[in-house]
């Protein structure tokens, strides 16, 4: 138990009859960090997560979650995890308070149900049944049920899909509070701003392979952050990449003797970098299949 990693994965492979869903993934998640797994639909995020959660078996590779192989996870191990699935149904006829209190009975060291309900902002809905909650409120209930057992590691699978911006902001605050209390969190999402806002580190997965792991600030390497200066002249639009955008703008000013038409200076957002990474992965794939086709 004395290792720093809540999750350690080496060479993970999972095959389905029609495709290889996870193809040699390595992953370390440190204790106490929020790790976001990013990737397009079908990239292998959910399969990877479900192997870590013990729902699916790995075909190859080493997997350790809180020091245990999930395929051999017992009740004690499960009591240290919190799992918020992508979709789930609640016992429809019980109230929020009844459900949270009921799930508390599964755990050796649960948190106080009223405290958890307050933490997810559902105090006013304590006596409400799940079907009368809004989408965002139901998701908060899912999180309440996920954290009631006082987990060391929390899995959140696309927790804010379908939220309006206000609900998403509130949800982020909830996750930040959990992180502050020391919970390790593995978050899968396809919202880049969510990953950027919440995650200490981000892993980008595409076609079952981990393309890159880094902090939101360093993802894609230093070059990916280079500023782009663009403008137009008689020949049409121009763009150049530079480490010294101010100098470039000054030079342009002199050349145009004043206003530079359609001047824009921007640094790529995480989204640009991400799309770039995914695009490269897809391009590499396409190249491989063309070669294979030529043979």
Partner 1 sequence: MADTTTKPLPSTLSVGLARTKLEVREFFREKEALIFTFFFPIIFLGIFSAVFGSTDFNGVNAATYFLPGMIASGIFLSSFQSLAISIALERDEGLLKRLRGTPMPPQSYFIGKIGQVLVTSIAQFALLLVIAGLVLGVDIPSEPSKWLDFAWIFILGAASGSVLGIAFSVVPKSGKAASAVITPVVLLLQFMSGVYFVYSSLPGWMRDVASVFPLKWLAQGMRSVFLPDGFQVNEPGGSWQLGTGAIVLTVWLIVGLFLAQRVFRWTRRDAG
Q: Applying CB under 8 A, which residues contact partner 1?
A: 1, 16, 53-56, 75-76, 78-81, 83, 85, 87-94, 98, 102-103, 105-109, 145, 149-150, 152
| Other residues' Cβ atoms within 10 Å of the Cβ of residue 222 | 8
Residue 201's H or E segment, with its range, is strand 201-206
Q: Are 241 and 224 in contact (CB under 8 A)?
A: no
Please identify, using beta-carbon distances, which residue of 16 and 256 lies nearer to partner 1: 16
Polymer length in residues for the chain: 295
Give min distance, CB of 154 to partner 1, in A.
11
Please identify, using beta-carbon distances, which residue of 92 and 234 lies nearer to partner 1: 92
Give min distance, CB of 75 to partner 1, in A.
4
Q: Residue 32 burial (CB < 10 Å; 0-12/13-18/19+)?
A: middle
Helices 96-104 and 135-147: angle between axes, nearest 10 degrees: 20
DSSP string, 94-133: S-HHHHHHHHHTT-SSPPPHHHHHHHTT-GGGTT--GGGS
Give min distance, CB of 63 to partner 1, in A.
16
Q: Are 156 and 120 in contact (CB under 8 A)?
A: no
CA distance 266 to 172: 27
Give min distance, CB of 278 to partner 1, in A.
24
CA distance 226 to 241: 6
| Of the candidates 173, 267, 170, 186, the residue with the CA atom closest to the CA atom of residue 226 | 267
Give min distance, CB of 191 to partner 1, in A.
22
| Other residues' Cβ atoms within 10 Å of the Cβ of residue 53 | 20
Give min distance, CB of 173 to partner 1, in A.
24
Please identify, using beta-carbon distances, which residue of 92 and 295 lies nearer to partner 1: 92
Please identify, using beta-carbon distances, which residue of 103 and 231 lies nearer to partner 1: 103
Please identify, using beta-carbon distances, which residue of 85 and 265 lies nearer to partner 1: 85
Please identify, using beta-carbon distances, which residue of 76 and 266 lies nearer to partner 1: 76
Give min distance, CB of 142 to partner 1, in A.
8
CA distance 203 to 16: 23
Please identify, using beta-carbon distances, which residue of 72 and 89 lies nearer to partner 1: 89
């Amino acid at each position: 138990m004395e290792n720093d990693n809540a999750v350690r994965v080496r060479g993970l492979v999972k095959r389905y009859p029609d495709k290889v869903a996870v193809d040699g993934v390595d992953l370390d998640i440190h204790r106490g960090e929020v790790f976001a797994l990013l990737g397009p639909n079908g990239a292998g995020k959910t399969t990877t997560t479900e192997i870590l959660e013990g729902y699916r078996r790995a075909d190859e590779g080493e997997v350790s979650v809180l020091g245990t192989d999930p395929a051999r996870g017992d009740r004690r191990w499960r009591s240290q995890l919190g799992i918020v699935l992508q979709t789930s149904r609640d016992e429809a006829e019980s109230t929020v308070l009844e459900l949270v209190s009921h799930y508390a009975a599964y755990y050796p060291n649960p948190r106080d149900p009223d405290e958890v309900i307050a933490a997810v902002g559902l105090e006013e809905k304590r006596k409400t049944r799940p079907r009368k909650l809004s989408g965002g409120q139901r998701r908060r209930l899912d999180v309440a049920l996920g954290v009631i057992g006082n987990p060391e590691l929390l899995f959140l699978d696309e927790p804010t899909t379908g939220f309006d911006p206000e609900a998403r902001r509130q949800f982020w605050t909830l996750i930040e509070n959990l992180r502050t209390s020391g919970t390790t969190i593995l978050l899968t999402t396809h919202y880049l701003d969510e990953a950027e806002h919440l995650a200490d580190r981000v892993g980008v997965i595409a076609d079952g392979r981990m393309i890159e792991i880094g902090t939101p600030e360093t993802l894609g390497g230093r070059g990916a952050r280079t500023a782009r200066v663009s403008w137009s002249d008689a020949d049409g639009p121009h763009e150049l990449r530079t480490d010294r955008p101010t100098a470039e703008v000054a030079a342009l000013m002199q050349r145009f003797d004043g206003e530079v038409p359609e001047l824009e200076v921007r640094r790529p957002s995480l989204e640009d970098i991400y799309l770039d990474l995914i695009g490269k992965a897809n391009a590499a794939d396409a190249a491989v299949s063309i070669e294979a086709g030529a043979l």
